[in-house]
Each structure stands twice: as structure tokens, then as C-alpha cells.
Amino acid sequence: MRKLQSLDDLIGFRERVSAEKDLKTETPTLVVSAGTCGQASGANDIMRIIKRHILKENLGDKIELRITGCHGFCQVEPFILVEPQLHLYPQLKMEDVPRVIEAVLGGYVEEDLIYTEPQVGTKFHSQSDIPFFKKQTRTILGSNQMLDPIRIFNYFERDGYAALEKVLSKADPEWIIEEIKSSGLRGRGGAGFPAGRKWELARASGDDHQPKFVVCNCDEGDPGAYMDRSLLEGNPHSILEGMIIAGIAIGAAHGIIYVRGEYPLAIKHTMIALRQARELGLLGDDILGTGNDFEIEIVRGAGAFVCGEETALIRSVEGFMGEPKQRPPYPIERGIDGFPTCINNVETLANIRIIINSGAAEYAKVGVPGNTGTKIFSLVGKIRDTGLVEVPLGMTIGEVVHDIGGGPPGKARIKAVQTGGPSGGCIPAEHFDLPVDFDSLREAGSIMGSGGMIVMDEDTCMVDVAKYFMGFLKDESCGKCFTCRKGTQRMHEILEDITEGRGTLDQLTLLEELAVVVRDTSMCGLGQSAANPVLSTLRYFRNEYERHIVDKRCDAFVCKDLVGPPCQAACPVGTEAWRYVAHIARGEYEDAYRVIREANPFPSVCARACDHTCEQRCRAGTSGGDPIAIRALKRFITDRIEPSVYIPVRHEWQEGEPPKVAVVGAGPAGLTTAHFLSLEGYRVTVFEAEPEPGGMLFCAIPEYRLPRDVIKKEIDSLLDDNITVVCNTSLGDDITVDGLFDDGFSAVLLALGAHKSRPLGLDNEDVPGVYPSIEFLKAFNLKSEQLAKGRVGVIGGGNSAIDAARTALRQRDVESVTILYRRTRAEMPAFEEEVEAAIEEGVTIETLVSPTEIKTTSGLFSHLGCVRNSLGEPDSSGRRRPVRIEGSEHVIELDTLIVAISEDSGVDSITPARSGGIEVTDWNTVKADARTLLTSRSGVFAAGDVVTGPNTIIDAIADGKKAAVMIDHFVRGEELVQPVKSLMPTVHLDPVEVDPEEAPDDRVETPRASIEWRKRNFAEVEVGLSMQEATREARRCLRCDLEFVERTAPDVRAAGGHAE
Amino acid sequence: MINLKINGIDVSVDRGTTLLEAAQFLGLPISTLCHMEGLTPYGACRLCVVEVGDPPNSRLVTSCTYPAEEGLKVRTASARVLRARKMIVELLLASCPQSKTIQDIAAALNVRQQRFRQENEDCILCGRCVRMCAEQMVAGAIGFTGRGQDRSIGTPFDSNSEVCRLCGACMYVCPVCELRCTYNEPEKAICGGCANLAPPCVDKPQFDDMMCYMQPCVACEIKKD
Ligand code: SF4
Ligand code: SF4
Ligand code: SF4
Ligand code: FES
């Protein structure tokens, strides 16, 4: 390369390069990103195959190959991007490469390999339509795709050094500073200090004889943030250009790029770029004869996080230990070796050429006033699309997370994002409308930092998050300031106590006080923001801290010492699933039954109709495999063992006459309470409106899921001399709350269930042919009336919709059953396996449709007017709202319509409750304190669906157990608190030795009756496991309890235990 | 001369004067620990923090290192300052309860107990020894190593120093390993007790001549295990 001698030389050279570029025909180009991330995922192999293929097939003039730095969509690497059409072929395997090349030559798209949006399944032919790219403004990152970082010509083709040319032509440093100032550019390194102002100060600082320094800070230490690396790696000349311009503006002749030693590729590319710039005469003494001297050297940092801090960085450049110093004096006045030093972040410097080229005014149009331009974020965590994203400042967090990141990867809801790296803070989903800019984030208790964004969902424990970051900070604090060093250690210590179950509320107060002091009294930015993880989680997620401290529970199942074996913690009634599974593995079936029955008075019912949250949390499943079929194992036991093997412990009432308690409603909640109170010696009377006890078990759950005789047998085993069941008696008509107290009952439990379906609120909802789902199910379950006829439509997506649909399908005169749901299948609240079974049996599911009109013909229901929906913006919970599509109205012919949108307790039962002085909500449920279950009237408690609305059986049972405890405390005049129970195992059972060769790792299939047979039949669908299957399945259990046995050793009871 | 306001009092000082010196000139008490006359200010213990600027944009800075600036408003004993100082003292007590210097500072600030898990360390990394060794003894035998949790004082590579003259100056200036109050070994006690305190252990006969203000008397507890 010939050295350019003058500014005119540069102008001429640039003109030649761009003229040549225009001559080039549009040959298709394969772009492969081979930054550090790309290489790690195999980009080198892809490149090798492409090169070999091109050579072999002699395609040199038909196809071009460009190797670039990281484009940002790291998750799809290694990929090939085909220019100019921008076909993106993600996650390629080596053998796929020739197919892509064929497609390019043939001018078509290889549909099998082209980018397909996960979950949704849409194929995108152009990268710019992909949601991840669509909403981005890739002013800076976009160039990475266009150029090979080691070819300076590539850079020149893309307006490279045009800004330098402009600056040199103006020959007016003041003008540069004015431009930068009026562009509004703020430092991208974290604090957001106006870059132009910094330059102005630097220019004014020192005297003419003093050397000055421009430093490019590429000491990127935040875990998970790598935008600086990508820029330096992918477009090093843009950083050099920014630095040269900075040097000219402030009058500095020395440039230093301070880069982490862990970035070898960035260092290599920068060294190549420096050599090229020097050879071309863009660096060195008297650049292009303009009288400006500027030289750049690279200094490698050793990877201490604190060296990102300006004064520590300077110490490190000077060759000392990286330790911050008191400011003032600021580096601008006295920096490296005491000379004025202007430190700018990589991304800030990358913006300089953009500003100079497009002009400050144009630049300032992007973003919002006070926060102009774009910012690169690294989006990671519990989100579908991860990578580097560049957006205008001021875009909302929600847009970044949902529109660009594609929302959550699974069903779990997004709870918060953490911004700003370890010393940043968490912003909860309720605040996702917050714009990302320097000031809003700071107000919300977080920081911009270098631009890390970690998305967290319900399975993230915020206390654990704070602990993780504090652990990082305590190791990375330089240790100079006592408060930062010791403060972070102490905060970590307290957080550790809390996550391990030793925390107290006093400690929480102390933690908060300490956090404020650490922020206030530390010297540098690291210490001053070190408290953010604690302060921001405390601000938005204090309830999680309290739950850890007061209830000793971690709802995200992260803090092991609070969770214990996950299956047990996940069960609302705390069944020791691991324990009975272990008994089954050992062939001890009666012991297994006792374990189940001790926690749950309805084992056979739950063995069939429980939604088994235990399996969702089972570690065998969460660690990548299939969860243990815990419910099927429970069924296996309850089918074999008689309830009589369990003899509960009974207590006689000690002083005087046993107190009387009234339970209204003989469903799972009410009967559970009655049972446990009876064990304590109470006399319980249960009032039931229907002719038989059972409540929702009978009315709502179809027989094919839960046979009637199973319910009857289970209820019979619970009734004893202390319990009187009075049927055909309903609240309001036959009894009143006041009357019950007059009759000498000491306490009343309302467990009425949710027996009314909520209406759609459309006209004609009462015509024949339209039925609320509960009414429909009840008519069949209690009176065997078959209301469904012909073509049946079911509106709703919950369990009762599925139950209604599957029941209708089995009725005599039914032709077809269609479920109409307003969102998509992924959002359906019904249990997945029920939905699958319904589809298997022939139920059609239509999604994204809402009813608008019920039409009648001669007084009978005949047509349903509907409208199609699309999914719109997410609501605060992160679920996307259905939005009507105008003009998509259509009519469906139906004979029967079942409305199953939700249930409540209905005015019939709520009104008498209200007249008893009990507060109710607007949605027809009884108000009860979540902790005590006490209603607004003393002595009256409420449990189950009447409080929560439609809920699972096991939650109703759990509520019933709690109600028994609360009523007992109430009658005895004790405080209404649930004793905190540790989830640590209390029993040790030796595991069965299984030959690892033979250990099965796949889940046993729950046997089901054949589809053809069961469709027209109300016999039970699920069939029990054989002994062989059960043993095999039970032996698959990982025995998560064993991990805790040593810790709890002193109180662990001996093996084989009889549960009293 | 630089003019500033400390606790509402106007004061003029030479350029380069620290806020601590300016406050001391006015006779305002500020607790210090890592600071020592004759050594370069270092700003490690953060005890000497004062509030500068106007709330809500005021901030805390260490007075021993912060240079007096024209027009600066300084408060040496605002609620925020006191809260911070007390917390620092709690942290100090939690780490080095046996230090007489720290006990005295705690007494002066009326801190009578600390709420963290008790530790018993023999260094708070104030850096007095390092500066003493380098600046007054001109030996430079010791320095800091490691960061965060692992920071400690030592000779290079922890080997016997060739430049150390065993002068003992480092020990002499150390606020933690100084000749100190020995609590539960009364016979070795050199300290007659801080007469201005009401110690909880006075009834114990062997402690007749000495005092300890801590509640509970953690130091004794420490020795037990
Ligand atoms: S605040 Fe922390 S990291 Fe910063 S100088 Fe002080 S001890 Fe070092
Ligand atoms: S592997 Fe076994 S012990 Fe662990 S969660 Fe699953 S069932 Fe429970
Ligand atoms: S040894 Fe003493 S003087 Fe030296 S740093 Fe530690 S506490 Fe300070
Ligand atoms: S005395 Fe000022 S920081 Fe220690």
C-alpha cells in the first residue's frame, strides 16, 4: 500500500475505492460471522467447507465469501447470510453448506434451512423481516455485517475515514467539539456523561507543552456483556477513526486502547488495523501533512473488573495495581502520569464517525432529547432470542424484551430484567413501559452500565440473583474502601443467610441500612453502585425476601435449603413424593400408602385428577429428562392398598364439651377441614346443597376422569362419629350464618365451591341450546341428562372447557365438538395432557377467535357470530392480548353452545353470605385473608374455590387443611398463624441399588384406553400401571432427598418408617 | 486562598488543604482511622466522610482526601453523615472488636453493639503500615496484594523482605495490632479501661480494673472457641 501524503491523496484514494465498488456487479455473497462467538459455535468449519466447495466447483466468480465479526444474533450461529437478498440460514451443520450454495446458485430459497421463528413457525426469507432485526436501528452494529475487519478496503468502501477526511478539511478542532456537543452523545460506558463536554474540558485542560492522552476503554468486565468486544473485533477501523478525531479535537497525540487480555481476537484485529492505518499514513507524525500527530498503542488489562473504572484504569496503564483514586482531581486534569487524559468507551468512539458523517442535527433525530442516538444491549437470560441488539435510546424495555427478544422461550412468565451488569438493578415486568435511557433507568434504581440486559422469569429467585451479583462484587471490589470491601462481604453474608433459611427480619433491616451506607461512602463507581442489586430487588421484590425469611420458602425453587426435594415442595399439601416413590421402589406398598395418606385425605381422587405440580418440578424432568410419573405411581398404590392401612392419630378434646364447627359445602376443601378437625376432637357438621357429599368432585369432574365409586369410597373412609353430613341444605334457603352461630357453632367455614359459570355478556344467552358449562356438566353428572346435540361449540380454554367438550363428545346425539379459544394453544390454561386427550378423541380446537353474537332461529340457538383475533401487545403479565381483526367477522353454524369462560360462586350463594355480614368481591367470591382464611366476620372462615375462583382439587384440599389449623387456633384463642415447616427430609430410606447399565431413563407411558372405545364411553380413560412398570418407574427417581440427609442427620428417623 | 463553608461557618484555607484539615482548623471533630499525620491521605476506612453540596444532590466524600474547593458547602455531622459513620463503626467492630482504637471511636459515636456475625480479624487494611513503611521509613517493604475478599498486606510474594529493617514502625502505627486491651486475660491488660464508659462486665471480679463496652461481650466469647 502506498502511503498517502496529503489530504488530497486521501480524497482521491477514497474516490477511487468507491468508484471500483460501483463497478462490481452484484455477485451473491455468502456472509459468515466469525467473531469470538461465531468461532465458538463452529463458524470456522462452515468457512472451510464453503471455501473447499467454491474451489472444487470452480465457483470463484459466481459466489463471494465474506468473513465478518459478530452481527449480534449470536444464538443462530453458525449461520450463512446470503446477500443481497438477505436470506438467513441459521445454525448450519457442515453437511448443509452445499445445499445452501446450490440454492444461491439456483436463485431459490432452501425452505428447510431458512430461518423459522421458534414457537410461531413462520419462515422469513429476508433477515430484515425477522422480528429480532425488524425493530432494531443498527447504525453501528449494522456495519459489522458489511465488512471484513482485517481488510481496510472494505472499510473504505463503507465510507471509511470519510469522517476523518471531513474533520481534516475543516481543520477546526472547536468545530468537532461543537458537533459532538450538539449531537447530544453521552458516554456509553455507564454514567452517561456528555461526550462533547468531556472533550471540551480535555481540550481546555493542561498547557500547550503537556502531552495529552486519549484512551479507548475496552475493559469490558460485566458478565454477559460483549458489545465492546464485538465492535473492536468486527470494525476496528471505526474505533481508530473515532480516536484520531478525538485526538485532533482535544489536542492529544497519544492514544491508548486498553483492552482485556481475554479478547485475543479483538487484540489481533486491532493490531492489524493499526498497522494498516500506519502504512496508509493515517497514524503517526504529521498525519497527511496536516500537522496533527497521533499514534495509538494497545495496553492489555489483566481482567480485573475494577479496571473499567477510570482512575483504576489509569493506575493500571501506569503499571500499578488497578486501584481507584480520589476524584477530584479528575483524569481530564491529571490522568496518566499526571497528564490530561480523556477516556472514552468503545461504543462512544464508534459513534463519532456517525455524527461527523451525518451531521449532529441528523444524529440527534434518533432517540429522545437528552438521550440521543442508539445503544447496544446484550440481551440474555430467559428469553427466546438472545444476542446483541441496537435500539434508539428511549425505546421501552417491553419493546426490547417482547418485540425484539420474542418474549419468554416457554410458558413461564417474565418477571424482571436486570440491567447494567453486576452493579445494576432489576426492573419488574410492571415497569416494562419504562424507556431505556440513562436517566429513567437511574430513577428506577438501576443503571445503564455497559448495556447488559438479563431477562428473568418466575423460575428466577430475586434473592438468589442479588446474592449472585454480590458474590461477584465482593470478589471484584479492589478492596481499598473498607465499606465497599467489607460491606459487599457482609451483604453477601446476609443474603446467604436468607437463602439458606437462617435469615431474620432484623437482618433484612440491617441489609437495607448497610446497602445505603455502602452506596453513600464508597469512593468509586463500583462501590457506589454495588448496593444496587440489593436495593433494587428490595424495592420491587421485598415480598420474595420476606417469603424466604418468614415462611422459609423459595417459590422459584432455586434456594435449595428452603426447597428440599422439589417434588415435595411443589405439592400444595406437601406430600413427600420422593418418600413414597422410594417405598414403591423397595416394594413397600403399605408404607407408600401411609406416606401419601398422611398428607392428603383424598389419595385416590388425586391419583386421577390432580394436576401434579410435583411432576412439573421433578428434578428428573427439570434436569433435561422426563419427570417421574408421580401421579401414576400414586394411582398404582391407591388401586392396591385399602384405606384402612392408615390409622390416623386422634386426639380427644380435653376440657369439657367438644366445640361444634359448621362447614358449609361438602367438597374437597370442606371435607378436608371436617376430617382434620375431627381428628382433634371437634364435632363437625357439614351442610351440602346437593343430595350427596362431594361438591365439585361430583358436579364438575367427568366420570371418565374420576369414577363415582372412587369418590364415594374415599369420602366414606373420611367420615366418622365426629362428623355429621346434612345434605339437601343450602346456605340462604335452609341455613344462615347467624343461625349457625345461634345454634352454638363456635366457628363456620364457607367452602361453597364455584358453581356458576360466568356469562359471555351477549344477548340471547338464555335461549335453549346455550348452556353454562357447569350447568351442562352438572345436568349430566348428577342427573344423566344429555343436553348437547348435533354440532357443539365450547367457548373457553380452561379445564372446564375441555371437560365440557370431552363430555359432550361422549353424548348420544352429538356430531362434532369444537372448542373456540381467543388466544393460541400455547396460552391455554387447561392441563396440557387433557388438551391432548381431547384432540386425540376428535375434539377440534379453533384458536384466535371470539364470539360476538348468539343468533337464533325460531327461538332456538342456531348460529354463532365470531371474529378472528391476532395477538397484540403483551399485557403487564407478559401474555399477549387478543386483538380483534377488523373485517374478519364470520358465522359458524352450531346446534349447542357451551360457555366455559370461567366460574364463580354465583349470586345465589354469595348473597346469603353477604347478608351474614361477610364481605365479597365484585367477581362473586368471598373475601378472605390469604394467610388466615378469616373473612371479614370473626369466626367465619372461607376456603377453596369460593375464595380463589375455579382452582385445582389439590389447592382446595390444601386450603381445607389450612382452614382446620386456623379454626383450631381460633377456637383455642391462639394466634392465627400457620407454623413454619421445614422441607428437609425427616426420614432416611436406603435407595435400591440399580445396575447403572440397566437404569431406565425414559418415562413410563401412562396407559390409556383405546381412543375408539373411550370416545363413546364414560369408563375411565387412564389405566393403572403394572407392578413391573411401577417398580421400573420408581427406580428412575433421582432421590433428591438424599442430598439433604447429611445436613439434617440428627433428627432423621430410622428407615422403613411407619408414619405413626 | 479558597473560601468554603463548613457547618455554616465561613473559612478560608490554602489551596491543597483537605476538608479534614479545614474542619480541624475550626475545631470540628471528625473521627478518622486510616488517616495519620505525616502520611499521605489514603481514604481507605471511609470513617471521615462528610457531606458536600446541597441536598438532594449532596454526596458523601472522605474529608481526609477531598481537597477544599471554592464555594463548597460541607457538613461534618449531618444525619446522613452520622448514619454512615455509625454503620462503618459497626462493620469495624464486627471485624476487629479487640482494637482499642476502634472501641474508642465507637464509644465516641455512642455505638454500643454491632449486628453482624462476629469476626476476629487482625487487620482492617487501613494501609497505615504501608504508608509508614514507604514514606517515613523509606523502606517500602510491604504493600497490598490481592483484591476484594483476598486483599491483604504483605511483602512481595510473601517472602522475607530484604529491605525491611525490622524497625517495627508498621506495628507501632497499626490501629488493630497495637498494644491492646486484652479483655479476658486481665493479668496482661495494660489498659486501665475507658473511664467514660459503662461496661457490662464490671461485676465480674477479674475485670475489676478494666472495661469493655460491647453488648454482648463478644470478645470473651471469641476466646472461648
Ligand atoms: S469503592 Fe470499592 S472498588 Fe472502588 S475504590 Fe473503593 S474499594 Fe475499590
Ligand atoms: S427425581 Fe424423585 S425426588 Fe427428585 S423431584 Fe423427582 S420424584 Fe422427587
Ligand atoms: S496491619 Fe494494621 S496498619 Fe497495616 S493495614 Fe492492617 S490494620 Fe492497617
Ligand atoms: S480517615 Fe479518611 S478515609 Fe480513613
**Judgement on whether residues A201 and A340 belong to the same structural domain of the protein:** yes
| Cα separation, A258 vs A476, whole angstroms | 18
For residue A939, give how far its alpha carbon lies from the nearest alpha carbon of chain B (Å).
41
DSSP notation for A763-797: TTTTSTTEEEHHHHHHHHHHH------EEEEEE-S
Residues A802 and A847 in one domain: yes
Does A538 share its domain with A620?
A: no
Retrieve residue A258's grid coordinates.
486498553
Contact B119/A at CB under 8 A: no
How far is A1055 from A1043, CA to CA, in rounded Å? 16
Which strands sit side by side in the sheet containing A29-33, from one edge to the other?
Answer: A64-68, A29-33, A80-83, A87-89
Looking up cell 432416611 gives A988
Distance from C-alpha of A133 to C-alpha of A119, rounded to nearest angstrom = 17
- Helix A589-599 / helix A577-585 crossing angle, nearest 10 deg: 170
Instruction: Quote the pLDDT of residue A907.
Output: 63
- Cis status, amide bond into B216, omega within 30 of 0: yes
**Alpha carbon separation from A227 to A36, A378, A468 (Å, rounded):** 12, 7, 22
Other Cβ atoms closer than 10 A to B108: 14
Q: Same domain, yes or no, for A586 and A687?
A: no
Nearest in space to A812 (alpha carbons), one of A1018, A1008, A1011, A1022 = A1018
Are residues A124 and A132 in contact, defined by beta-carbon separation less than 8 angstroms?
no
Residues of chain B with pLDDT under 50: 178-202, 208-225
| Residue A80 placed within a domain | yes
Q: What is the mean pLDDT of each run of 10 residues along chain A (1060 residues)?
A: 87 89 79 89 90 87 89 90 90 90 89 85 87 91 91 91 93 94 90 91 87 92 85 95 95 93 92 94 92 93 80 87 82 89 94 95 93 93 92 93 87 88 88 92 87 91 95 92 96 96 95 96 90 93 95 92 92 94 93 94 93 90 88 93 91 89 94 96 93 87 89 92 92 88 94 84 88 89 88 91 92 92 85 87 91 90 90 66 88 92 70 78 85 92 88 92 95 88 85 72 76 73 85 90 68 41
B60 touches chain A (CB under 8 A): yes
Contact B151 A485 (CB under 8 A): yes
DSSP annotation of A368 reads E
Rounded CA-CA distance B13/A269 in Å is 53
Whether the Cβ atoms of residue A224 and residue A411 lie closer than 8 Å to each other: no
The helix/strand/coil state of B84 is helix
User: How many Cβ atoms from other residues are within 10 Å of residue A829's Cβ?
Assistant: 13
CATH of the domain at A265: 3.40.50.11540
- Do A506 and A434 share a structural domain? yes
ipTM of the complex: 0.84
CA-nearest residue of chain B to A323?
Answer: B147
Tell which residue, A613, A615, A638, has the closest CA to residue A628. Answer: A615
A976 belongs to a structural domain: no
The alpha carbon of B132 and the centre of ligand 3 are apart by a number of angstroms equal to 10
| A389/A401 Cα distance (integer angstroms) | 10
Phi-psi category of A954—alpha, beta or left, where left has phi over 0 and alpha has psi -120 to 50? alpha
Beta-strand runs (E) in A701-751: 723-726, 745-750
In a domain, A25, yes or no: yes
Q: How many angstroms separate the CA of residue A439 from the nearest CA in chain B?
A: 15
Query: By the CB < 8 Å criterion, does B207 face chain A?
Result: no
Closest CA to A701 of A619, A795, A610, A786: A610
Q: Domain check: are A770 and A790 in the same one?
A: yes
Domain termination site, one of A851, A876, A902? A902
**Distance between CA atoms of residues A749 and A671, nearest Å:** 11
Question: What pLDDT sits at residue B205?
Answer: 56
Report whether A844 contacts A819 (CB < 8 A): yes
Phi, psi of A530 (to 5 degrees): -65, -25
- Shared domain for A672 and A578, answered yes or no, is no
End-to-end CA distance of chain B: 57
- Give the relative orientation of helices A236-250 and A195-204 as an angle to the nearest 10 degrees: 50
The C-alpha cell at B131 is 504508608
Q: Which sequence spans correspond to the domains of chain B? A: 2-108, 128-224
Which of B46, B126, B135 for a ligand 3 pocket mutation test, highest count of atoms within 8 Å of Cβ?
B126
Phi, psi for B50 (deg, rounded to 5): -135, 165
| Domain shared by A117 and A160, yes or no | no
| Cβ neighbours of B65 in A, within 8 Å | 326
Q: For residue A1, what pLDDT is reported?
A: 67
Residue B179 contacts by C-beta under 8 Å, 6 or more apart in sequence? Answer: B190
If one residue of A619, A626, A1003 were mutated to test the ligand 2 pocket, choosing by the most ligand atoms within 8 A of its CB, it would be A619
Does B92 sit within 8 Å of A483, measured CB to CB?
A: no
Specify whether the CB–CB gap between A55 and A37 falls below 8 A. no
Closest CB from B69, B84, B144 relative to A517: B84
Give A685's strand partners. A662, A724
Find cell 438467513 and name the residue: A88
Residue with cell 484485529: A269
Q: Give the number of the ligand closest to the Cα of residue A634.
A: 2
Chain position carrying cell 361444634: A660
CB A375 within 8 A of CB A448: yes
- pLDDT at residue A1046 in the model: 60
Is there a domain that residue A700 lies in? yes
| A209/A346 same-domain check | yes
Closest CA to A424 of A440, A439, A441, A436: A441
**Number of folded domains in chain A?**
6
**Packing angle between helix A346-358 and helix A173-183, nearest 10 degrees?**
100
Q: How far apart are CA B13 and CA B7, in angstroms?
A: 15
Q: What is the DSSP string of A47-116?
A: HHHHHHHHHHHT-TTT-EEEEE---S-GGG-S-EEEETTTEEE-S--GGGHHHHHHHHHHT---TTTS-B
Domain housing A838? 759-902
Q: Is residue A652 assigned to a domain?
A: no
Which of B46, B148, B149 lies nearest to residue A483, judging by beta carbons?
A: B46
Q: Name the CATH topology of B2-108.
A: Ubiquitin-like (UB roll) (3.10.20)
For β-strands A745-750 and A940-942, DSSP reports them as parallel
Whether A573 is covered by a domain: the verdict is: yes
Return the closest-CA partner of residue A255 out of A205, A215, A291, A219: A215
Q: Which residues pair with A396 in a beta bridge?
A: A435
What is residue B210's predicted lDDT score, i.e. its pLDDT?
45
Tell which one of A1004, A1039, A1043 to mutate to probe ligand 2, the residue whose CB is within 8 A of the most ligand atoms: A1039
CATH number at residue A1010: 1.10.1060
Residue A654 located in a structural domain: no
Judged by DSSP in three states, B156 sits in helix
pLDDT the model gives residue A998: 66
* Whether A630 and A695 share a structural domain: no
- As a whole number of angstroms, the distance between CA A689 and CA A699 comes to 12
Chain A residue with the nearest C-alpha to that of B33: A482
Atom of ligand 4 nearest to the CA of B43: 3
Contact status of B124 with chain A (Cβ, < 8 Å)? yes
Rounded-to-integer distance, Cα A629 and Cα A1005, Å: 8
Q: How far apart are CA A887 and CA A788, in angstroms?
A: 31
Q: What is the pLDDT of residue B206?
A: 52
> Given A498, A528, A562, which residue is the final one in a domain?
A562
In this structure, the answer to whether residues A735 and A871 fall within a common structural domain is no
Residues A425 and A511 in one domain: yes
Among A527, A562, A597, the domain boundary falls at A562
Return the sign of the alpha-carbon dihedral for residues A429, A431, A436, A437: negative
The verdict on residue A1 lying in a domain is no
8 Å CB contact between A669 and A944: yes
Chain B nearest-CA residue for A477: B148
- Alpha-carbon distances, residue A129 vs A124, A871, A1008 (angstroms): 7, 18, 45
